[in-house]
Chains A and B, each alone.
Chain A
Amino acid sequence: MNTRRDFLKGVLASSAAATTAVVTPPVCARETRRRPAEALGLLYDATLCIGCKACVAACKEANGNPPEFSTANQLWDTPLDTSGYTFNVIKMYRNGTMEMKDTEVNGYAFMKTSCMHCADPSCVSACPVSAMTKDPVTGVVGYNPDKCIGCRYCVAACPFGIPKYQYDSPTGRIGKCELCRHRYKDGRYSACAEVCPTGATLFGKTSELLEEAKRRIALQSGQRATFPRGKLGGADQSYETVAGKYLPHVYGENEYGGTQVLKLSGVNFQKLGMPDLPPDAAAALSETIQHTLYANLVMPFAVLGAMTYVAKRNVKSDDASSDQEES
C-alpha cells in the first residue's frame, strides 16, 4: 500500500505550499499608500494648546453628539476619552510638580485625541462592507452607518484607538471624526480648528500643514514668530507670539506611511499617548497576504480543481460500493 506514503507526501506538500505561499516575496506586494496630493488634515501644536477644550465642545455641536459625564453633579460635558459620542478630546500629561508646560519632568502638556486620517488606514482595510472609506481626493476617512454591520473590526484594527462603538444602544453606530466633511459645502471646515483661539489646531491641506510644521520646528525656542489660526490659506487670523520648544519630529509625517493629521510637541509623543508606529502600514501587509493568496482567485481555484479531480476519482468508488450495499 502506497497510500500512507502518498498521504504523508500530501501532508508535507500542502503544508509546504501553504507556508511558501506566505513566506516567498509576493508578486503583488502592495506598498504602503501615500496621502492624496490634495489631502486635507489638521496640524495640532501641543505647545500652543492651552487646554481650553473649546474644540471638544465645538466638535460635539458640529456632530450633534450628546454630552458625556464623568463628574457626580453631571453639569458639564466631561468626557475622559473619545467614545461613540465623543470624537475629539484634549488629554493632559502630568509629571511631578507640573511646574513647566511642555516639559517631560515636573511638567505638563496637552494632546489632542481624534482621528489621524491615515494615508493607509487600517479601519478602511478592515471594513468588510466599505462602510469605512477613504475619500480619493480629500483623503478624509468617512463612515457610512447605512452600510455598517457593527462588527467592530475597525475598532480592533486602529492603532490609535479611534473608531469607537456605541455599546449602550441596540442600534449603536461607530463614532469617529470625519474632519467635519459635512460642513465643507457651506464653506466651513473642521469645527475644532475653527474655534481654536491659539491656532493649536489648524485646518488645511496636509502638504501645506507639513511645511508649516517644519517651519515651526526650525524656529528658535523663545523667538517671536507669526502663527496662523483657523484655516491655513484661509482668512488671515494670524497672531504673533513666542515659539515653544519643539521635538524635531512631526508626528504623522511618516508613521504608518503618514497621516493627514500632524502633531508637534515638546514632550515625547509616546508619553502623550501616541503609539510608536513603523513607516509601513499594517494594512499594506494584511492586503499583501490576502491578495497573494487570493489574487484573481487563482490559488483557490487551482486547489479546488485539484481537490475536485481527486475527489471525483475517490467518491465514484464510494458510490459503487454503497450501491452494491443497497441491492
Chain B
Amino acid sequence: MANHQHAAPAPIGGGLVNVVTLTCGVLIALMIAVLAVRFLFGLGAVTALNDGYPWGIWVVVDVMIGSAFACGGFSVAMLVYIFNRREYHPLVRPALLASLFGYTLAGAGVIFDLGRWWNVWNMFWPSSINPNSVMFEVAVCITLYILVMWIEFSPVFLEGPGRREARLKISKVMFFIIALGTVLPMMHQSSLGTLLVVMGVQIHPLWQTPLQPALYLLSAITMGYAVVLFETCVASSAYRRKIEIQILTPMAKVMLGFLVVYVVVRLGDVIVRGALSTAFMPSIEALAFWLEMACFVTPLILIGAEANRRNPAKLFLAGVLLMLGGALLRLNGFLIGYETGDGFSYFPTLAEVLVTAGMFAVEVLGYIIITRRFPVLPRADVQVAH
C-alpha cells in the first residue's frame, strides 16, 4: 500500500509550441520527405544499403536499439508489479509512455525498411508463417507487445468520471495485461540477439554466441532502468521539477544487480568460447569490443557506492553510459562485427540519419504532448513547476 505516499499523476499543462516542439516538427517533415522518395523509388534511392550490408541503421538503430531503449516500461513494470516494489509506482506511467512510443515507432520503422511491405500480412497468415524463423518470433511478439502496451497505458486516456466504467473494465484484466507486458519483451528482446546466430561465421567471434538471447535480455533490462534514469533527469530538468532521487537511488541498485550478472555472463562467455584473444588483435572489432565493455563496466565504478547513487549527475551519466553500452552491443553485433566478404562497406547516408532523427523527434514530440495534456507525471511535482 505504499501507493498512498504518492500523489496521483496529473497533466503538466502549458503551451505546446516552443523551440523543442518546432525542431521536432522540422525533423519530422524532413523524415516524411525522405520516406516519400524511398517509397517511390526504392531503398537504394535514399540508403547506403547493399547486399553485403542488407541491414543499416533503420534496422539496427531504429528497431534493435530503439526497442531496447524502450524497455523502461517493461523493466519498471516488472519491478512494481512482479516484485511488488510500490515505491517505484510514480515511474511506471512516464516509463511506459516512452516505451509505448519507442516500440510503436520501431514497429513503424520496420515498415519503412521492408522491401515488399505490402506482403507484411504473411507474417501473421497461418499458411505463410515459419516458426523456425527467429524473425517470425520477433515480429509477432513485438506486434503483440505494442497492442498490450497501448492497453496497459489506456487508463491515462480514460480518467475522469465519464469513463469510469471503461476504466474499471480494463482494470479487471489489467493484471493479465501486465503479466503479458513482462513476458512478451523477455521473448523478443532475447530473440533479437538470437537473430545473429543463423548468420554463423559472418559474425565476429566476439559477438557470435549461442548465449545471445541471455545477453540481449539482460542488457535490455539493464538499459530499461538506464533509460528511466536518463528520462527522469531530462524530464525534471526540462519541466523544472525536482528529481525523484529517493526512488532513483534504490532503482539504480537494482539496475547494477542486473548489470553485474550481464557483465559476468558476457565476459565468461567470451572467455569460455576462447574468443578473448581476438579482443587483443589490432582491429576495429577489438576496439569496438573494449569501448562497449567500458560503457558497461564504468557505471559499476561510477555509482557502485551508495553515496554516489544519491548524486543525480552520476546517476544520469551512468544511465547514459549503459544506454550507450547496450547500443554498442547491438551495433557491434549487427554492423561492426558483421563481415560478408570483401568489397562491401556501409556508412549511413544523410537521408537514413534524417529518418532515424525524425523517428526520435516523433517520440520526443509525442512525449511532450501527452505529458502536458494527460496525467502521466506525478502531480506533486507539477506544483513545483508552476
A residues at B contact (CB < 8 Å):
3, 6-8, 10-12, 15, 18-19, 22-23, 81, 83-84, 122, 125-131, 145-153, 155-157, 159, 161, 164-173, 256, 273, 275-278, 281-283, 285-287, 289-291, 293-294, 300, 303-304, 307-308, 310-319, 321-322, 324-325
Contacts and interface: CB of A to CB of B under 8 A. Distances in A.
Cβ-closest 10 pairs across A and B: A150-B115, A282-B200, A167-B44, A150-B116, A307-B179, A152-B54, A128-B136, A155-B54, A286-B198, A308-B179
Provide the main secondary structure of the chain B interface: helix
Interface in B122-153: 122-123, 125, 128-137, 139
Contacts of A164: 51
B265 interface: yes
B26 to A, nearest CB: 26
A210 B190 CA distance: 40
Interface stretch (B180-188, B228-236, B302-310): B180-188
27 contacts: A11-B258, A12-B261, A18-B186, A19-B214, A122-B198, A125-B132, A125-B133, A129-B125, A129-B128, A129-B130, A147-B122, A149-B120, A153-B135, A156-B55, A157-B198, A159-B202, A275-B201, A278-B201, A282-B200, A286-B197, A286-B198, A300-B183, A310-B82, A310-B179, A315-B174, A322-B3, A324-B4
B50 interface: yes
Interface in B104-126: 110, 113-117, 119-120, 122-123, 125
A178 to B, nearest CB: 17
A289 B257 CA distance: 26
Given A129-B122, A308-B179, A18 B218 contact: yes
A147 B133 CA distance: 15
A278 B205 CA distance: 14
B261 A173 contact: no
A149 B133 CA distance: 14
B238 to A, nearest CB: 28
A319 B130 contact: no
A314 B81 contact: yes
B28 to A, nearest CB: 22
A161 B51 contact: yes
Interface in B327-350: 338, 340-341, 343
A23 B213 CA distance: 11
B237 interface: no
With a 10 A CB-CB cut-off, give which of A151, A157, A294, A304 has the most chain B CB atoms: A151
A167 B8 contact: no
B40 interface: yes
Contact of A293 (B81, B213, B258, B338): B213
Contact of A307 (B51, B122, B182, B198): B182
Nearest to A30: B132
A149 to B, nearest CB: 5
A322 B198 CA distance: 48
Given A167-B43, A286-B134, A307-B179, A18 B343 contact: no
Contacts of B83: 3, 6-7, 10
B199 interface: yes
A151 to B, nearest CB: 6
A276 B202 CA distance: 11
A290 B194 contact: yes
Nearest to B198: A286
B246 interface: no
B84 interface: yes
Contacts of B274: none
With a 10 A CB-CB cut-off, give which of B54, B190, B191, B198 has the most chain A CB atoms: B198
Contacts of A321: 1, 3-4
Interface in B158-209: 171, 174-176, 178-180, 182-183, 186-187, 190-191, 194-195, 197-202
A290 B134 contact: yes
A297 B202 CA distance: 30
A123 to B, nearest CB: 9
A319 B115 contact: no
A170 B39 contact: yes
